[in-house]
């Protein structure tokens, strides 16, 4: 029997869960797969857009991570407070949960883990507080709490100006704010207040989904504008006044709102920055095919990575990439430990649905590693594609949790 090896997976989001499950499926039982996350539940983030318009509950779009214990994965609930990438030693401030309320964290204790192979999939920190007034004034629909507060605010909403805002030009899931604007409008129309509602989308970026190229970007812009949503690209928010309900932009423009739904600024988690894992881009540099960092047997996958593309922008942050990267890294670790199977490489392929409301979705897919520019095709919205997204959600939980 080969020596017992420990693979430590940091994060129980998309990349972490897929990596841990893929490893456990292929590694002989005596090797350990350990996964750490501060949250009790894995959240399926794409469905936050349905939650905010009342089509989902938090229960429906999350699953307890400790279900993975039944699959042979050691699940540790706790805050990762230190990572030493040279020694692959990780400190975790562990917690357990009370029953009343179930999210209450109990029993704090510190524990060190040593890994033979370390996979870092800690996502991003969302930092609305870096824009004065933003957190107080609006709903951060990139979090469960923010999507829920938006859902509650929409219940009392009887028409008026709604602003959807991106606070910085780069953020995970570049389609999401565009989908959010269309789903909010669809929701208001279904409630019979569409005529009294004006939706403005103020974006820090010059156009939707810039990495996909000018043609796809223009198509997405048309989807939004054809519905009657007013699009304002290149508007960088500088401050928000929660009591006056006004937004100030760097170009001197101001906007007013009754309801504000926003995508906050992102940055790499503090523990990652403290570990010296990031470069001047602010994200973790990796080999774009193997996801290996500059530290032996330390891999980073998903949103925490910064992968430059030849066209001058980084690979977008999206679950589809985290999933595919996780599978490639897991396969390579298994190959390294057991000598079995073939080495694998992440190929830069990505695909995503774009919900447009009225039970329809578009679908974009292609090769983001194509040079000199990504080759992406956007398929027009249809009911069938919306059904595809529903199926994707269902299969996500069936397959991974």
- 3 state SS of 401: coil
- Residue 202 near residue 169, CB atoms below 8 Å: no
Nearer to ligand FAD, 139 or 221 (CB): 139
Nearer to ligand FAD, 164 or 173 (CB): 173
Q: Which residue reads 């540099």 in tokens?
A: 285
CA 261, CA 138: separation in Å to the nearest integer? 6
Site for ligand FAD in 48-87 (CB under 6 A): 48-49, 79-80
The pairs formed by 382-387 with CB atoms below 8 angstroms and a separation of 24 or more are 383/359, 385/353, 385/360, 385/361, 386/353, 386/355, 386/359, 386/360, 386/361
Binding range to ligand FAD, per CB under 6 A, among 103-111, 171-179, 194-202, 253-261: 171-179
- 3 state SS of 229: coil
Binding range to ligand FAD, per CB under 6 A, among 94-102, 229-237, 278-286, 296-304: 296-304
Angle subtended at Cα 258 by Cα 256 and Cα 262, rounded to the nearest 5 degrees: 80
Residue number closest to ligand FAD, CB atom: 13
CA 212, CA 375: separation in Å to the nearest integer? 7
Query: Smallest distance from the beta carbon of 273 to ligand FAD, in angstroms?
Result: 11
CA 198, CA 226: separation in Å to the nearest integer? 14
Figure out which of the listed residues 174, 319, 362, 381 binds ligand FAD, where binding follows CB under 6 A. 319
33 forms part of the interface with ligand FAD (CB under 6 A): no
Binding range to ligand FAD, per CB under 6 A, among 186-194, 220-228, 235-243, 316-324: 316-324
Nearest Cα to Cα of residue 296 among 155, 118, 60 = 118
Give the total of residues touching ligand FAD (CB under 6 A): 34
Figure out which of the listed residues 320, 358, 365, 370 binds ligand FAD, where binding follows CB under 6 A. 320
Query: Smallest distance from the beta carbon of 77 to ligand FAD, in angstroms?
Result: 9
Query: Smallest distance from the beta carbon of 247 to ligand FAD, in angstroms?
Result: 20
Query: Smallest distance from the beta carbon of 352 to ligand FAD, in angstroms?
Result: 5
Nearer to ligand FAD, 173 or 237 (CB): 173
Nearest Cα to Cα of residue 91 among 119, 110, 70, 118 = 110
Nearest Cα to Cα of residue 198 among 189, 210, 209 = 189
Nearer to ligand FAD, 179 or 200 (CB): 179
- Residue 130 near residue 169, CB atoms below 8 Å: no
Query: Smallest distance from the beta carbon of 211 to ligand FAD, in angstroms?
Result: 13
Tokens representing 164 are: 């959807």
Q: Which residues bind ligand FAD (CB under 6 A)?
A: 11-16, 36-39, 45-46, 48-49, 79-80, 121-123, 142, 172-173, 176, 269, 271, 302-304, 317-320, 322, 352
């Amino acid at each position: 029997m080969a020596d017992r090896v420990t693979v430590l997976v940091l994060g129980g989001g998309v990349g972490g869960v897929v990596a841990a499950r893929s490893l456990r499926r292929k590694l002989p039982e005596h090797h350990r797969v350990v996964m750490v996350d501060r949250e009790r539940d894995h959240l399926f983030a794409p469905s936050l857009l349905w939650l905010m318009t009342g089509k989902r509950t938090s229960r429906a779009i999350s699953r307890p991570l400790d279900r993975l214990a039944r699959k042979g994965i050691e699940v540790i609930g706790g805050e990762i407070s230190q990572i030493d990438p040279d020694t692959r030693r990780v400190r975790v401030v562990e917690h357990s949960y009370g029953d009343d309320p179930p999210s209450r964290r109990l029993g704090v204790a510190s524990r060190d883990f040593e890994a033979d192979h370390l996979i870092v999939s800690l996502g991003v920190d969302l930092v609305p507080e870096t824009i004065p007034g933003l957190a107080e004034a609006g709903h951060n629909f990139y979090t469960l709490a923010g999507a829920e507060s938006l859902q509650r605010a929409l219940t009392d909403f009887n028409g008026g100006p709604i602003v959807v805002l991106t606070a910085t030009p780069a953020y995970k899931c570049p389609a999401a704010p565009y989908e959010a604007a269309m789903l909010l409008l669809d929701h208001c129309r279904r409630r019979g207040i569409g005529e009294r509602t004006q939706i403005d989308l103020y974006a820090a970026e010059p156009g939707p989904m810039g990495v996909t190229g000018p043609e796809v970007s223009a198509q997405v812009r048309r989807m939004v504008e054809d519905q009657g949503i007013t699009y304002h690209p290149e508007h960088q928010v500088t401050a928000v006044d929660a009591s006056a309900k006004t937004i100030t932009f760097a170009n001197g423009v101001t906007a007013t709102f009754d309801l504000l739904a926003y995508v906050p600024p992102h940055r790499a988690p503090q523990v990652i920055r403290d570990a010296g894992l990031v470069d001047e881009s602010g994200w973790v540099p990796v080999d774009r095919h193997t996801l290996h960092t500059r530290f032996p047997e330390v891999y980073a996958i998903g949103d925490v990575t910064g992968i430059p593309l030849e066209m001058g922008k980084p690979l977008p942050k999206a679950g589809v990439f985290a999933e595919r990267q996780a599978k490639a890294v897991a396969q390579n670790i298994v190959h390294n430990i057991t000598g079995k199977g073939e080495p694998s490489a992440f190929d830069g392929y990505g695909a995503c649905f774009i919900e447009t409301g009225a039970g329809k979705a578009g679908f974009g897919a292609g090769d983001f590693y194509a040079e000199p520019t990504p080759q992406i095709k956007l398929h027009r919205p249809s009911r069938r594609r919306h059904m595809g997204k529903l199926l994707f959600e269902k299969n996500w939980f069936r397959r991974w949790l």
